[in-house]
Amino acid sequence: MTPRARTNQLLYQAELLLETPAGDDEHAEARRMAAEEGALALAELALESLLREVTEHARLERHAWRELLGPEGAEIAELHRLRELAAQPDSWLAWLIGRLEALHASEGVARRRTGAAAGLIAVGSAAALGDELYGCLQAAKAEIAALRETSQEW
């Protein structure tokens, strides 16, 4: 499988997890949280696959996103573009990196939903992790198309 095909496959699989109904039994909340964190883990694999794909011409030995998108990462145009995107707080990549850091922390990133049954007032503007991740994946796919164009020029 090519790096491009693998990136596409991982993005598709992440979307499938997000679209899978959690059900309505006593395990539904845990199932939803597992699907969200699983989709986020697939998004991390997709990010590393994308980095492998767009830096193929540079023949890098490692493709860890923390290294390549960090300040010491290789000076490649596509990586520079992604670093700039990651520095924009409202970008899909900045959102993704923040959630990936939380995913690797001991608390994780998925949260139980609290509702009126628990006697709490829900905040209407708080989007579910799955919804935010789905939006992030859509924005990422648009950016990936542009990155692939510049990468193919090499």
Which pLDDT value is given to residue 152? 62
> In whole angstroms, what is the distance from residue 142 CA to residue 122 CA?
32
Q: 119-135: per-residue pLDDT in tens?
A: 444 444 446 899 999 99
- Decide which of 112 and 122 is more confident: 112
Q: Record the tokens describing residue 95, joined without a space.
A: 């959102």
Give, in order, the Cα–Cα distances in Å from 9 to each of 26, 28, 57: 31, 26, 21
45-69 residue pLDDT tens? 999 999 998 888 888 888 899 999 9
In the predicted structure, residue 140 carries a pLDDT above the cut 50 = yes
> d(Cα 22, Cα 31) in Å, to the nearest integer?
6
Which pTM value belongs to this model? 0.87
Sign of CA dihedral 7, 79, 134, 122: positive
Which distant-in-sequence residues (6+ apart) come within 8 Å of 79 by Cβ?
Answer: 51, 54, 55, 68, 69, 73
